[in-house]
Amino acid sequence: MRIRTYIAAALTSVSVTTKAKTQTLSVKDLQAQGVSSIEEPKLSSSPAQVYGQIRMEGMQYFTPIPESPQLSFSQLLSARLSALKETSWIDMAADISGGTFFSRGQSHFVVHEAYLASHGNTPFKTFLGRKKKDWSEMDRRWQLGLWQPKFAIDTLRPEEQGLTGLFVDYNTQGWEILGFATPVFIPSMGPDIREEGGGLVSDSRWYRAPSRNYDFNNHINTISYELDIPDMAKLVGNGGVGFMGRLGNKENGPWIVASAGYMPVNELILKRKNFKDVSEDKVDVTVSPDVGYHGIYSLDIGYAFSNLKASLSYLQDEPKEKLPEVDWSIQSLKPIKAYSAAFDFSLANIFTKTLAFQLEYLKVDGGGIKDVLSNGSPDDFTLFDQRLKFTNALSFRVEGQLASFFRRPFVTRFKYLYDYDQRGSLLNTEFLYYPSQKWAVVMGGDILGVQDESYNPSSFLNQYRANDRVYGGMTYVF
């Protein structure tokens, strides 16, 4: 049984699978008028507004995996559709996407947002369904997935998802108060996992399998894993609440946003049960997903002026202690305290064009994982040891139209990130040329690297340093 496939079977608003396999969809932000924007596009308030994108893409990884050569190349056809329909008494909105990998026979369907809203252009609105909100600047910019879940089968292309429940919102330009409550939990979605040959494996280059070596009485034993999926209602039926307040206008002048919530951790935690046959050099381990809770608090202050926006952010996460049954171990999540600063600015008349820039810094304290026993004492084996990809990182991004060829725009996206704790970097580049207003030719690549491969071998950049890749294709916007 596959962990994510099992959950998705009941949550068709999140993901469905074809041929019992699921794989990533990554659709870039829609481009209106042939020029991209750093911010996500906003749905129009006009009746029956519909727009979307179709993307055809081929991707090649530089380094093949000997045991999985089929993961070195992929061909993807994907589509994204957003729509808003207004009636005389209620408004309806949806943002959905889906895709198929031809080389692997894998398909999926994802609902990023889908909600009903009270009708009328009034400050007070209620929403029911799956909806995104700006709970935290840091969580959105760094794609932490602490406030809102992620669809992140491809780790370098995470898609932020909305929370699902009832939203009560009073929103004006000068201030906003938001309340949220839900009886339903839809977790972040990662790579599909299955049992194979005693291991936990995935048809993804972005899944890190747990170790199969176990030290038992100073003797290394081989671990054989088995998945045990609990009742679906036990995972889904976990509610939460959240509150957010904003003072000031985030588009002009000073502003402040404070948010607090008590809800499930978006990443499922894992518990395991070990059984050792003393007559064999093998340990049988049963792994089962579970839900953990945390209190989450964030504060953002910022200032927007003309072409400059600046913000400072703080986020604190306090996981609730959860102990397993006797003879089981469970992941104990360590609290997170995170700080960030961000500057957004644009410069006009650079080669007669306008470029948008982002400079961001993130510092995280805590965020480790330690497996514990039923009495609360640490286990001597831990499945995974970190909750976040980056903990001390500086990021620079530029986006905009570089030039025109045959009077058509040539657009670039460039991002460089360096993590001081990992002593490694991540480079993302993408170029788009629009031969017409609706068609774009896409070329891009991602490069990961570390200065010393022996330093911090379990870090994200070190684990996936062989995943350098290039891609190309076409997009059609309508």
Quickly tell me which residue has 């588009």 as its tokens.
251
Give kind and range of the element (H or E) at residue 263: strand 252-264
136 vs 260: CA distance, rounded Å: 10
Count of other CB atoms within 10 angstroms of residue 86: 17
Please tell me the class of the 3-39+47-477 domain: mainly beta
Q: Which of 345, 353, 356, 361 is nearest to 305 (CA)?
A: 345
338 vs 317: CA distance, rounded Å: 9
State the burial class of residue 326 (Cβ atoms within 10 Å of its Cβ: 0-12, 13-18, 19+). Answer: exposed
* 182 in Cβ contact with 254 (< 8 Å): no
pTM of the full predicted structure? 0.86
3-state SS assignment for residue 402:
strand
Bridge-based pairing state of the strands 424-433 and 408-419: antiparallel
Residue type, 12: T
3-state SS assignment for residue 34:
helix
Give kind and range of the element (H or E) at residue 287: strand 282-290
187 vs 151: CA distance, rounded Å: 9
pLDDT tens, position by position, for the chain (478 residues)? 444 433 333 332 233 333 323 222 222 332 333 333 333 334 444 567 999 999 999 999 999 988 788 899 999 999 999 999 998 889 999 999 999 888 676 788 899 999 999 998 899 999 999 999 999 999 999 999 999 999 988 999 999 999 999 999 999 999 999 999 999 999 998 888 888 888 888 888 998 888 777 766 667 778 888 899 888 888 999 999 999 999 999 999 999 999 999 999 999 999 999 776 655 677 888 999 999 999 999 999 999 998 899 999 999 999 999 999 998 999 999 999 999 999 999 987 766 678 999 999 999 999 999 999 999 999 888 888 899 999 999 999 999 988 888 889 999 999 999 999 999 999 999 999 999 999 999 999 999 999 999 999 989 999 999 999 999 999 999 9
State the burial class of residue 139 (Cβ atoms within 10 Å of its Cβ: 0-12, 13-18, 19+). Answer: buried
434 vs 189: CA distance, rounded Å: 33
Return the half-sphere exposure (C-beta side, CA atoms, 13 A cut-off) of residue 1: 16
* 80 in Cβ contact with 43 (< 8 Å): no
State the burial class of residue 225 (Cβ atoms within 10 Å of its Cβ: 0-12, 13-18, 19+). Answer: buried
